[in-house]
Structure 1
Amino acid sequence: MTADAQRTYSAHVERATGETKIDLTLHLHGTGRVSLAFPVPFLRHMLHLFAAHGSFDLDITADGDVDVDDHHLVEDIGLCLGRAIAIALGDKRGIRRYGERHTPMDETLARAVIDLSGRPAFVLQASFSDTRIGTFPTELVAEFFKSVANEGRMALHLAVLYGENNHHMVEALFKAFGAALREAVTLTGGGVNSTKGVLE
């Protein structure tokens, strides 16, 4: 995996393996513009919502062995997105660090809480009533977010507090994640928001 970034809170990440090939560009202080070209329609829809509700600019061109299943491509896009977040933030000087958002989607209420601590941790509290949303395996929701949290080096706590429709549940999670991350990367001025002086 190769990557580069500037203090413009942007990053470009490339990943090429025997299973996937991904080219991803992220701008954390953007306008919500997206260009998503990869063969997992439900994840494209979710990442469009993530970018829109976080006001991130996100470009992804990717392909993978989806003839096997969606797992590798979904997981690796999560890895690349998390890596891009970490690179774009640099030493995290001047950011809020924490973000929290409750997001309703019709009958569903989801919560996302983020600490850009530099220490990866992931918790998802959600119970889906079916194994698939269309053709998308619901088990990949956790795999995607776990990959983002690990590579983004963040503590990410997600929960569906209640809901009935699986699509609504996942959509609320992605919207809440985008909005919470937007809050966490907001510039507040000053130094690193840690008594240790570093976030790593």
Structure 2
Amino acid sequence: MYRRQRHFYDATRKFYLLGRDGLVRGLKPPPGGSVLEIGCGTGRNLIRIARAYPQARCYGLDVSEEMLVTARQAIARAGLSGRITLAQADATNFEPRALFGREDFDRVVISYALSMIPPWRAALARALAALAAGGSLHIVDFGDQAGLPQVFRAALDRWLALFQVTPRPELGEALAALCREAGASGRTTRLFRGYAVLAIATKP
């Protein structure tokens, strides 16, 4: 799908992938900390994270090699190749040690990717498992749109379906269950009248 879309992905998605920059502002990794983005796509978020937190080491994985080609080019243009490491991997079963030479991360980010991953619960569980002690998982994605007009919700669902995107209204419930199992704490916040949802889970 992204062989062609990657060339104009960022120019179009900025109008409706809302909440991404707020997520970046809330990361606040520790000095010298590590940040992993799962489903990093074109590298747009990783570049912003690296610029916002110059002491952090950033990592990204994506299942699409086409997207990673674009991400590597964008990261190189930004002069950040020395601080951002990319790898091709499946969000549901990646191994941090094999990909990046480390066991875990201080921050893990998933931005509008769970809605594109059919086994999204498995990806969510793997992301939580990749956190270091005291680390946090930050997710932004489409919400339930409960506060928006029905006609808008129906049109948005049809539009998203064209790109194989399925909102996950059960995200909060699924994250809460995983947090209970892991002894972690989690919270979700509805954004823009439910258009999007921000979820954060923190390991003790």
Place the TM-score, normalised by the shorter chain, in its bin. Answer: 0.3 to 0.5
Structure with a larger share of its residues in strand: 1
Structure holding more helix per residue: 2
Calculate the TM-score normalised by the size of structure 1. Answer: 0.32
Asked which structure has the greater RCO (Cα within 8 Å, sep 6+), the reply is: 1
TM-score, normalised to structure 2, is 0.32
